[in-house]
Amino acid sequence: MWHVYTMRIEDEIQQKDFKDDYRRLLVNLLFTNNWVNQQVMPFFRAHGLTLQQHNVLSILRGQHPEPVCFGDIQCRMADRSSNVTRLIDKLIEKGYATRDICQANRRMIEVRLTEKGLQKLEEVDEDMPALYQRFHNLSHEEAVLVSNMLDKLRG
């Protein structure tokens, strides 16, 4: 009898702790999200880019001087949901990229990094240590640990 009773209490407590710890994680992720944006946005803005624009430029550099098509860019972006067309428009406006219809499959658009875009990326790279500086509250090992945990979280 008392066994059943205590089990119930334990279950209840366990459930409660359980819920609260994951809730704390969720709130923490949202806070951190916001904090990261506040660190990162002004950094890229100082270089005349948004985070996503820089992200796309980096993807383009990965294949440079080969082109990358829209779909591939979309797949590789951290933020999948955003509108690649209009992002690329901005980069072309600024002279950092070019677009051409792919002759092999005319539905596809080939996007290439320009020399100017490459220079901009190198300029940003030089400044990068200043950005990473802001993550130094965590040790080298802790940074690796958190990365691994986040990978695991997303499954």
Partner DNA sequence: ACTCTATATTTGTATACACAAGTAATGTAT
Partner DNA sequence: ATACATTACTTGTGTATACAAATATAGAGT
Which residues form the interface with its own copies (CB under 8 A)? 17-19, 21-38, 40, 51, 78-81, 128-129, 131-132, 135-138, 140, 142-147, 149-155
Q: State which residue, 24 or 116, has the beta carbon closest to its own copies.
A: 24
- Omega of the bond prior to 67 within 30 degrees of 0, cis? no
Q: Which does 154 bind (CB under 5 to 8 A by kind): its own copies, DNA, none?
A: its own copies
CB of 138 to its own copies, least distance (A): 5
State yes or no: residue 79 binds DNA (CB under 7 A): yes
- Least distance to its own copies from the beta carbon of 68, Å? 18
Cβ neighbours for 140, distance < 8 A, ≥ 6 positions apart: none
Instruction: Tell me the window of 18-26, 70-78, 115-123, 127-135 that interacts with DNA (CB under 7 A).
Output: 70-78
Q: How many helices (H) and strands (E) does the chain have?
A: 6, 3
Report residue 110 as tokens: 């080939």
Q: Which of 4/78 has CB closer to its own copies?
A: 78
CB of 91 to DNA, least distance (A): 11
Find the angle CA(126)-CA(68)-CA(39) to the nearest 5 degrees: 35
Question: Strands across the sheet with 68-69, in order?
Answer: 68-69, 109-113, 97-101
Q: Of these, 57, 109, 113, 121, which contacts DNA (CB under 7 A)?
A: 109
Distance (Å, rounded) from C-alpha 34 to C-alpha 94? 28
Closer of 102 and 150 to its own copies (Cβ): 150
Nearest residue to 94 via CA among 74, 64, 114, 68: 114
**C-alpha Rg value of the chain to the nearest Å:** 22
For DNA, the binding residues (CB under 7 A) are 37, 41-42, 45, 50, 52, 69-71, 74, 79, 81-88, 90, 99, 105-109
